[in-house]
């Protein structure tokens, strides 16, 4: 039976108020308290960050628990273990003595164990004639029993936080995927809207997301993305509602053909301009002979390579990147928001951005980019403008400049470029400049 319980550590180790509080908690636990040591240890391991414990200190705590023979710890049983440092080192996977002492102090500071030091600092137990322990000096495991409910609550709180963090990350991933794909739909289907500005707003929100973010920051960003998601969704749904689902077959055919009202295929039915990139306003019938498809992004970028340098990342892989770069170029050229808005409404988002890229490519030859864009907008309103001649004229200019250095007649871009032009497209290029 215990005759005296020491409360102060041996030697130069100082006493702290935290240790006094741990001892008071252990002393106040009810006599019927009982706990499964390995279950409590699992809770401590899950809540180690909240408790301030480390991986090494938990390895030592695991070793200390293994020295107690019983799996169930109760307030009425002997809860002090007295292994030597050599025994602890052996069961803690051979850590160094200095590491052992340091992490034993961590366990004491966290309130997971209590030191019961003997007068000379040795760990041992004094037994009676009947073999019962009268006095033991070592490490008291009573906090494992006294704080078992607290450890369980902390572990549940950690699990709840991990789940909330996982749900927030999943929501962030879904919002990012949905927004990017909806922007792509709006661009490709010619839905009216300032998609370049929408994309810039999205990129500005995402740029605040660090590599490792807290749950609160992720939830704040999710809230902003949710608002943007709702706005984009409303625009797309409103556009789909404007389409007449009960239209007859011929109306449906026209709708499919003109899903992008500013696509180059419409220009084949109306007059166009010859060499718009050079500023000429003369109408030409060459628009009728242009390909009946949208301009590929690769051809536009080969014709307007200066736009790549204006991009935030220097890489333009999708039309949404192209629109974001066009928004930056617009401010660099000094084009007013009203002129840019009118061009987008008349030409469409993508076609207006292509025209702006062509203007930026020839900015050294154009005195007023804003006035020139308004002129192109007026021609587009009358059905006399297409971006195909502008892009083809720029490609033809590159062909003429590098003709002496090119081994192939059909190579449009400079040496090392990936663009190869077909014979039919090359004939169209030649017609535009005749």
137 and 166 both lie in a single domain: no
301 and 387 both lie in a single domain: yes
37 and 118 both lie in a single domain: yes
Q: Does 4 map to a domain?
A: no
Q: Which residue has the tokens 């689902």?
A: 245
- Is pLDDT above 60 for 152? yes
Residues above pLDDT 90, as percent of the chain:
21
pLDDT given at position 167: 95
DSSP 129: T
pLDDT given at position 18: 63
Q: Containing domain of residue 329, as a range?
A: 263-432
Q: Does 155 map to a domain?
A: no
Rg (CA), the chain: 38
Residues 8-22 have pLDDT tens digits of 565 556 656 566 666
pTM for this structure? Answer: 0.56
43 and 96 both lie in a single domain: yes
319 and 358 both lie in a single domain: yes
* Range scoring the smallest mean pLDDT among 39-43, 319-323, 387-391, 426-430: 426-430
27 and 136 both lie in a single domain: yes
362 and 272 both lie in a single domain: yes
108 and 223 both lie in a single domain: no
pLDDT given at position 277: 40
297 and 379 both lie in a single domain: yes
Q: Please give the helix or strand (H or E) that residue 75 lies within, else none.
A: none
124 and 190 both lie in a single domain: no
- Is pLDDT above 80 for 272? no
- Is pLDDT above 50 for 260? no
Q: Does 252 map to a domain?
A: no
User: Closest Cα to residue 41, out of 26, 29, 28, 51?
Assistant: 51
Domain boundary among 199, 223, 239: 239
Q: Which class for 197: exposed (0-12), middle (13-18), buried (19 or more C-beta within 10 A)? A: middle
Residues 406-415 have pLDDT tens digits of 554 444 444 4
Q: Does 258 map to a domain?
A: no
Strand 283-284, strand 272-273: pairing: antiparallel
Q: Does 344 map to a domain?
A: yes
Q: Where are the beta strands (DSSP E) in 206-327?
A: 272-273, 283-284
Q: Which class for 422: exposed (0-12), middle (13-18), buried (19 or more C-beta within 10 A)? A: exposed
Q: Which residue has the higher pLDDT, 72 or 416?
A: 72
Farthest CA pair distance, the chain: 119
Q: How many domains does the chain have?
A: 3
- Nearest-angstrom CA–CA distance, 313 and 327: 14
Confidence of residue 170 (pLDDT cuts 50, 70, 90): very high
pLDDT given at position 184: 85
Residues above pLDDT 70, as percent of the chain:
74
Q: Does 273 map to a domain?
A: yes
Are the CB atoms for 272 and 286 separated by under 8 Å?
yes
Confidence of residue 160 (pLDDT cuts 50, 70, 90): very high
Are the CB atoms for 330 and 370 separated by under 8 Å?
no
pLDDT given at position 280: 41
Confidence of residue 168 (pLDDT cuts 50, 70, 90): very high
Residues 331-382 have pLDDT tens digits of 888 888 888 888 888 888 888 889 998 998 888 888 888 888 988 998 888 8
204 and 283 both lie in a single domain: no
Q: Does 151 map to a domain?
A: no
- Is pLDDT above 50 for 279? no
Confidence of residue 245 (pLDDT cuts 50, 70, 90): low
| Mean pLDDT, residues 222-243 | 88
328 and 269 both lie in a single domain: yes
Coil, helix or strand for 122? coil
Mean pLDDT score of the chain: 77
pLDDT given at position 421: 52
């Amino acid at each position: 039976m215990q005759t005296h319980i020491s409360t102060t550590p041996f030697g130069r180790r100082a006493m702290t108020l935290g240790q006094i509080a741990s001892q008071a908690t252990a002393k106040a636990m009810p006599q019927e308290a009982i706990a499964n040591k390995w279950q409590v240890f699992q809770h401590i391991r899950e809540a180690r960050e909240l408790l301030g414990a480390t991986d090494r200190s938990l390895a030592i705590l695991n070793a200390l628990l293994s020295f107690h023979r019983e799996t169930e710890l109760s307030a009425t049983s002997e809860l002090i273990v007295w292994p030597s440092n050599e025994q602890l080192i052996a069961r803690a996977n051979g850590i160094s003595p200095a590491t052992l002492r340091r992490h034993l102090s961590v366990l004491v500071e966290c309130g997971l164990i209590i030191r019961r030091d003997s007068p000379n600092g040795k760990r041992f137990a004094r037994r009676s004639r009947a073999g019962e322990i009268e006095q033991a000096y070592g490490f008291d495991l009573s906090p494992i029993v006294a704080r078992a409910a607290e450890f369980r609550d902390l572990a549940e709180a950690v699990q709840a936080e991990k789940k909330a963090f996982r749900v927030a990350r999943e929501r962030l991933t879904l919002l990012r995927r949905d927004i990017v794909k909806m922007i792509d739909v709006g661009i490709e289907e010619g839905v009216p809207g300032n998609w370049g500005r929408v994309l810039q707003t999205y990129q500005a929100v995402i740029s605040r997301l660090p590599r490792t973010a807290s749950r609160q920051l992720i939830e704040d960003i999710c809230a902003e993305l949710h608002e943007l998601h709702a706005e984009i969704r409303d625009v797309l749904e409103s556009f789909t509602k404007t389409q007449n689902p009960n239209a007859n077959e011929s109306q449906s055919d026209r709708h499919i053909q003109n899903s992008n009202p500013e696509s180059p295929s419409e220009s084949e039915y109306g007059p166009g301009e010859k060499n718009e990139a050079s500023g000429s306003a003369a109408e030409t019938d060459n628009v009728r002979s242009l390909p009946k498809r949208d301009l590929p992004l690769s051809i536009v970028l080969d014709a307007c390579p200066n736009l790549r340098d204006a991009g935030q990342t220097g890489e333009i892989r999708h039309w949404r990147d192209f629109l974001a770069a066009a928004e930056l170029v617009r401010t660099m050229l000094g084009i007013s928001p009203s002129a840019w808005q009118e061009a987008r409404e008349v030409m469409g988002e993508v076609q207006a951005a292509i025209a702006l890229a062509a203007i930026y490519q020839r900015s050294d030859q154009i005195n007023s980019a804003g006035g020139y864009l308004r002129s192109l907008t007026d021609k587009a309103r009358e059905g006399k403008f297409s971006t195909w001649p502008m892009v083809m004229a720029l490609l033809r200019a590159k062909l003429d400049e590098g003709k002496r250095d090119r081994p192939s007649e059909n190579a449009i871009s400079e040496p090392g470029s990936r663009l190869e032009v077909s014979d039919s497209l090359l004939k169209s290029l030649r017609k535009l400049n005749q």
